Structure 1
Amino acid sequence: MSPRRARGTVGPLAVLALVLTLFAASPALAASYRYWSFWQGAGGNWGYATEGPSTARPADGATLGFRFSVSKDAGAEAAKPRAAADFDAVCGATAAAEGKKRVALVIDFGMPGDAPAGEAPPQEGPRTACAQVAPDATAAEALASVAKPLRYNGAALLCAVSGYPRSGCGEPLADGAEPKASASAPASAAPSPGGGSGPSAGLVAGVAAVAALGAAAVWQSRRRRR
C-alpha cells in the first residue's frame, strides 16, 4: 500500500474512532434523568406525550398523567404513573359544567428512591384530581388548577408540581451521583410555547451530531479512494 493511500485510509478511521469515543463518553447520551414526565391516557393505558404540557390542549374527557422519577431519558424507558388512565374513576363524580371541560389528572410523586437528597415525595401513592377548565385550556393550565405551585425552567420543562421537588430540573445523573441544582424559573413563571415533556431534546441533538460526524467520516473515506 502506498503512503498516500495509507494516509487516506487512516484519516477516516481515526475520525470514526473519535466519534465512537465521544458517543460512549457523553453523559447526555448515557445518563439517567430525574424529572417530571408527561403522559396521555388512551384505552386505560398510558402513552408518553408527544408534546409538552404548555402546548397540549386536551379534549373534554381526556386523562393526563404526570410522574416524577429517575428515568433513562424519555419515552418507553420513563416510569409511568402508577394509577390507571381511567377518566371515569377520577371525574365520574364531577358533573359537567357549561363552558368548561373536564380533564382527569393522575399526579404521581414517585418513590422515595427517586427523591433528591434531603427530600421525600409528598405522598406515597398517586394523587388524582378532576380539573374543570376552559375549553381551550392547555394541559399545563389544567394541572395548575389542581396542583399549585408549579415550577418551570427557561425551556418550559416542568420542574416541580405542588412545590416538589424544591430545586433542580431534569439534570443528568451520572453513575447515580447527585447533580448540582440548576437555576430554574420561579413558581409563578408560565411555560413558554413549545416546551417539551422531558430531556429528550438533548439526547436527539447529541445523536444527530454523532450521526453527522460519522457520515462525514464515511464520505471522506470514499472520496479519497476514488
Structure 2
Amino acid sequence: MAPLTCALLTQGAGTAQAAGYRYWSFWELDGQKWAYATQGPATLRPQDGSTQGFRFSVSEDSADAATPRNTEPFAKVCDGTPERDGRKRIALVIDFGTAADAPGGEKPPAGRTACASVAEDASAADALAAVAPPLRYDSGALLCAIEGYPRQGCGEQVATADRSADADAGAGAAEDSAGTADADAPAQGPSLGLWAGAGAVLVLGGAAVWQARRRRG
C-alpha cells in the first residue's frame, strides 16, 4: 500500500497543526448531486451517458472534501459529440479548485467540462486520459496532476500555516495574471456516510492499479 494511502487510513484529520492533504478526488454525478465514487477511476467503468467529476482541494478529513462546483449533466456536456458504434460517451467535469488550495506560486486553471468518446470497456481513468493530458503520477503511481496541474507535489500533508502562505501566494499569482485574486470559496463536501470512511483511498489506489495495467500492456 502506498504511503499516502496508509496515512489517510491511519491519521484521519492528522495532528492539530495539519489542515489535511492536497489531492485530486473523484466523484460521480447522481441526478444534480455529486457522490464520492465508491471505486477508483482505474477500476470504475462508467456506462454510456454517465458524468464523472474530479476536484483538486485540501481536505482535512473525509467529511470535508470539496465537491466539483459544476453539475452540468451529460446531455449538455456531450451535446455535439455523436454516438459511434463500439464507443461510449462519458461526460467529465474537472474542477481545479481555489487559490486557497493551490500550491504556493500556482494559480488554478478555470474549471472545464469535456466529453470523452472511448471504447466500451474503458475506465474513468481512460476517459480522463483521453481529454485532459498531460496526467502526472508519482513513483507510487498515484494521480498527482490533471492537465499538468499542479506542477509539483502529490497528496502532500499541508499544515495550517503552510496553507495560509500558499493561499497568499496563489492570490498574488492570480492578481498578476488577471488583475484580481480568485475569491472562490470551497464547495460544501459530502456527508461522512457518502465517504464510508475510505473514499479518499479509493481514487488514489485506483490510479495505481491503472498504472500497473499500463506497464504490463
Query: Which 10-residue stretch deviates more, 25-34 or 48-57?
Result: 25-34
Runs of 4+ with deviation above 6 angstroms: 22-25
**Structure 2 portions without partners, runs of 5+:** 1-9, 164-200, 206-217
C-alpha contact (below 8 Å) 1:41/1:85 kept by paired residues: no
Match of 2:92 in 1: 105
Distance 2:56 2:202 in 1: 15
Match of 1:69 in 2: 57
Q: Which has the higher contact order (CA 8 A, sep 6+)?
A: 2
Per-residue CA distance 1:69-98 (angstroms, 9 max, x = gap): 111233x42100010151111012222111
Per-residue CA distance 1:144-168 (angstroms, 9 max, x = gap): 1000000123444321000000111
Distance 2:135 2:45 in 1: 18
Structure 2 residue 144 is the aligned partner of structure 1 residue 159: yes
Q: How big is the alpha-carbon RMSD for the aligned residues of Structure 1 and Structure 2?
A: 2.7
1:1-226 superposed matches below 5 A: 26-27=14-15, 31-74=19-62, 76-123=63-110, 126-177=111-162, 196-198=202-204
Letter in 2 for 1:40: E
In structure 2, the CA distance between the partners of 1:58 and 1:112, relative to structure 1 (3 Å rule), is: same
**What is the TM-score of this pair, normalised by structure 1?**
0.64
Which of the pair has more CA radius of gyration? 1
**Structure 1 portions without partners, runs of 5+:** 1-21, 179-194, 200-226
Provide the aligned length of Structure 1 versus Structure 2.
159
**What is the TM-score of this pair, normalised by structure 2?**
0.66
C-alpha contact (below 8 Å) 1:61/1:104 kept by paired residues: yes
Superposed displacement of residue 31, structure 1: 4.2
Per-residue CA distance 1:89-114 (angstroms, 9 max, x = gap): 10122221111000000000111121
